Chain A
Amino acid sequence: AQSVTQPDIHITVSEGASLELRCNYSYGATPYLFWYVQSPGQGLQLLLKYFSGDTLVQGIKGFEAEFKRSQSSFNLRKPSVHWSDAAEYFCAVGEYGNKLVFGAGTILRVKS
Chain B
Amino acid sequence: GAVVSQHPSRVICKSGTSVKIECRSLDFQATTMFWYRQFPKKSLMLMATSNEGSKATYEQGVEKDKFLINHASLTLSTLTVTSAHPEDSSFYICSAIGLAGGLGYNEQFFGPGTRLTVL
Measured CB to CB, the residues of A under 8 A from B are 32, 36, 41-46, 49, 51-52, 90, 94, 97-105
Contact = CB atoms under 8 A, between A and B. Distances in A.
Interface string B49-76: 1000000000000000000000000000
Most chain B CB within 10 A, of A49, A51, A98, A100, is at A98
Nearest to A90: B43
Given A44-B95, A98-B108, A101-B46, 5 more contacts: A42-B113, A43-B6, A97-B49, A100-B34, A100-B46
A96 to B, nearest CB: 10
A100 B108 contact: yes
B107 interface: yes
A36 B110 CA distance: 10
27 contacts: A42-B112, A42-B113, A43-B4, A43-B6, A43-B110, A43-B112, A43-B113, A44-B44, A44-B93, A44-B95, A45-B110, A46-B107, A49-B107, A51-B103, A51-B104, A90-B43, A90-B44, A97-B49, A98-B32, A98-B105, A99-B34, A99-B46, A99-B49, A100-B95, A100-B108, A104-B43, A105-B42
Contacts of A41: 91, 113, 115
Interface residues of B, number: 24
The 8 closest A-B pairs by CB, nearest first: A43-B112, A43-B110, A44-B110, A32-B105, A102-B43, A104-B43, A98-B106, A43-B113
